[in-house]
Structure 1
Amino acid sequence: MIRTHTGFGALPIVDVGGLYSEDVHERLATARSLDRAARDAGFFYVTNHRVDHTLQTALVEHAQRFFAAPQAWKMRYYIGHSTAHRGYVPEGEEVFAGGKHDRKEAFDTGRDLPLDDPDVKAGTPMLGPNVWPDQAGFREAISGYYDAAFDLGRRLFRGFSLALGLPETHFDAYLHKPPSQLRLVHYPFDASAEDAPGIGAHTDYECFTILLPTAPGLEVMNGDGRWIDAPPIEGAFIVNIGDMLEVWTGGNYVATSHRVRKVTQERYSFPLFFACDYRTVVAPLPQFATPEACAKYPPLAAGEHLFAQTALSFTYLKRRLERGELALPDGSMQLSSFGQEARNAV
């Protein structure tokens, strides 16, 4: 029987220090805490991680410098010029379910792969070289943070493996070259903005997300369908379950719907969307493969799902679809097909 989200009023806090222990019993105890948080809320804080504060500070400072630059200069790095969905995302470029334009700007990066990489040469979507602006120290700061946050993600995945009764390194097999994106997101100050819903409700398309925010604004839907504030906590990351872990667990973990309010405060947000390899086929694990779960969650190609959802969200990709330059993979799902909000809409 699927255990659905609770009517939580605040996000759980999980001390993940035990995942770094050489004592398997400590790792198992932490894994059980992760499991409770993933089942009860699908959104939680993680503390006692090993991502150095200096890396976080450098990330924020370089993002502030970049977004403060003239718009014409930033558009030199427009994401629509990229072959691998990397670069600057101007305000209004993204459109969520319901056709609502998003009031933010962003800069998208990922694992920096050379043009002669076999998967890049084969034209695999979402894989390829990063776009690096001509800003001293930007590449080093963003790459350093990416690597550290990715290491945390690998550690969390091992915790989820233990929580799900799998060998600790089970998911390592799907992490050779994942299209895990790190986004630098800027919500500009708007003195006229009301404290009201802003970015449309959505789930994240990957396995889970590791988020570093600088200010309040994030809201999470609980099991009762109510929106709950998820403000930053000093020294903690916010982690949320994505679509692929919902599928793998047959809905026992839910890709929790979330949104960002319009607030009269400048805000930066840095999500690392932790994905599995592009060609990974995801379906309910054997312990969750009930007839009901298998009917609801047929096998899904992880990379194709990510690409399809991205293509339906970004204006430059939607135009390529309209011109016939791109095609969605067969069986592509509509936006907002997962998550607590989708369940409440049924």
Structure 2
Amino acid sequence: MGDCTEAGVPVIDFSAYRLSLTKPDTTQFQKLVGDVHKALTTIGFFYIVNTDFPHAKVDELYKVSKEFFDLPLEGKQNPPISANRSQGYAKIGRERLNTDRPYGDLKESFNYSAATKDNEWPIESACPGFKTTNKDFFDLCVPLHDRVLEVMAHGLNLEDPLFFVKRHAEPTMNCLRTLFYPSLSDVTAREQQVRCGEHTDYGAITLLFQQRPGLEVCKSDGSYFRVPLVEGGILVNVGDLMQRWTSDLYIATKHRVLLDDSAEERGKSRQSVVFFGYPSIDTTIECIDKSNKYPPIDSMEYLDSRFYDTY
């Protein structure tokens, strides 16, 4: 495996199947496959570097998203935006990822999926370029998402290396989420309220673009460690449906974002961008090893149940 961060999250060189290649580099591809497989059967998280992803686009999305989040609340919700099914604006406290916590998460977000309707966007004059920038970034994430799925299929020795890719084709609920965590100088945290409650992701895989450190990942002993930033790195993890698909071989690991420790950090806001890969809405998730460890489940049925609990 490649290098690890100080906390032990693998940093995997993706250059053997970087986006500029039409076919994998055969001399290095098997190492990439093995590194990803090992990461997903142990910690459940890994960084990928050397992907050819245009990271300048992350900064563009941060900029236009900050302009959106700076709008008054009525500007973000006019016209009305739904927060169900991973579409639209969710105000601070609207989302509660850990339902055992008494209050919703101290963050706000805008969620875009290919199913988002035109009337679920803020008025263009209120935030110029917001819609276009989100859509363009979503389109950039899809091919990288598909390549990670293909690498995973090789790691599982599936007969069809495009098994997962084919089951993430349209119509899908793939979601691009831009998140804003306000400065604690601007909002008051309630008792036991956190930035992002303890949870596992819902779908197949997640791509996370971080601005500042803060994400904490649960270890096998139940303790959490903070994941440091890796320059040019994209953090990848799997969700519940992939864990079911692989009969628990690939691990959907709990993670969270707590309130910052120091007064200096608590006075800062933060942003992040997340691409959630969800299977096609007509996909049935069955254990690929034929073990029937989990009964077959409709992907949309499962996602709807998780969205219902969250919102």
TM-score by length of 2: 0.85
Q: Aligned to 1:64, which of 49, 63, 66?
A: 66
Q: What is the CA–CA distance in structure 2 between the aligned matches of 1:176 and 1:49, rounded to whole Å?
A: 22
Alpha-carbon displacement from aligned partner over 1:185-233 (angstroms, at most 9, x marks no partner): 1000013769995422101100010011111211000122110101322
Aligned partner of 2:230 in structure 1 is: 233
Q: Aligned to 2:207, which of 207, 210, 224?
A: 210
Shift of 1:275: 1.0
Higher alpha-carbon deviation: 90-99 or 202-211: 90-99
Residue 281 of structure 2 aligns with an amino acid whose one-letter code is Y
> Contact 1:195–1:262 at 8 Å: present in 2 too?
no
Alpha-carbon displacement from aligned partner over 1:245-303 (angstroms, at most 9, x marks no partner): 101111011110001111213111111111110121112112xx44xxx24x1112111
User: Do the aligned partners of residues 128 and 144 (structure 1) sit closer, same or farther apart at CA in structure 2, a change above 3 Å counting?
Assistant: closer
Please tell me whether residue 159 in structure 1 is matched to residue 135 in structure 2: no
User: Do the aligned partners of residues 217 and 276 (structure 1) sit closer, same or farther apart at CA in structure 2, a change above 3 Å counting?
Assistant: same
User: Do the aligned partners of residues 103 and 171 (structure 1) sit closer, same or farther apart at CA in structure 2, a change above 3 Å counting?
Assistant: same
Shift of 1:26: 2.4
Aligned partner of 1:176 in structure 2 is: 169
Residue 129 of structure 1 aligns with an amino acid whose one-letter code is K
Shift of 1:77: 4.5
Q: What is the CA–CA distance in structure 2 between the aligned matches of 1:259 and 1:83, rounded to whole Å?
A: 21
Shift of 1:142: 1.1
Residue 44 of structure 2 aligns with an amino acid whose one-letter code is G
Q: What is the CA–CA distance in structure 1 between the aligned matches of 2:145 and 2:30, rounded to whole Å?
A: 17
Aligned partner of 2:263 in structure 1 is: none
Q: What is the CA–CA distance in structure 1 between the aligned matches of 2:113 and 2:276, rounded to whole Å?
A: 9
Q: What is the CA–CA distance in structure 1 between the aligned matches of 2:193 and 2:39, rounded to whole Å?
A: 27
User: Do the aligned partners of residues 236 and 308 (structure 1) sit closer, same or farther apart at CA in structure 2, a change above 3 Å counting?
Assistant: same
Alpha-carbon displacement from aligned partner over 1:17-43 (angstroms, at most 9, x marks no partner): 112353334222211111011111101
Aligned partner of 2:283 in structure 1 is: 280
Unaligned runs of 5+ in 1: 1-7, 112-126, 315-346
User: Do the aligned partners of residues 129 and 72 (structure 1) sit closer, same or farther apart at CA in structure 2, a change above 3 Å counting?
Assistant: closer
Aligned partner of 2:93 in structure 1 is: 92
Aligned partner of 1:186 in structure 2 is: 180
TM-score by length of 1: 0.77
> Contact 1:50–1:152 at 8 Å: present in 2 too?
no
Please tell me whether residue 313 in structure 1 is matched to residue 302 in structure 2: no
Q: Secondary structure at the match of 1:233?
A: coil
Aligned partner of 1:244 in structure 2 is: 241
Unaligned runs of 5+ in 2: 1-5, 261-265
Structure having the larger proportion of residues in helix: 1
> Contact 1:89–1:106 at 8 Å: present in 2 too?
yes
> Contact 1:10–1:228 at 8 Å: present in 2 too?
no
Aligned partner of 1:106 in structure 2 is: 109
Aligned partner of 2:3 in structure 1 is: none
Residue 14 of structure 1 aligns with an amino acid whose one-letter code is I
Shift of 1:241: 1.0
Please tell me whether residue 132 in structure 1 is matched to residue 121 in structure 2: yes
Shift of 1:235: 0.8
Shift of 1:83: 8.2
Aligned partner of 1:29 in structure 2 is: 31
The alignment-based identity, stated in percent, is 27
User: How many aligned positions are there?
Assistant: 285
> Contact 1:84–1:128 at 8 Å: present in 2 too?
no
Q: Secondary structure at the match of 2:41?
A: helix
User: Do the aligned partners of residues 85 and 36 (structure 1) sit closer, same or farther apart at CA in structure 2, a change above 3 Å counting?
Assistant: closer
Residue 92 of structure 1 aligns with an amino acid whose one-letter code is G
Matches for 1:1-40 after TM superposition, within 5 Å: 9-20=7-18, 21=21, 22=23, 23-40=25-42
Q: Aligned to 1:221, which of 218, 222, 235?
A: 218
Q: Aligned to 1:261, which of 258, 262, 270?
A: 258
Residue 32 of structure 1 aligns with an amino acid whose one-letter code is G
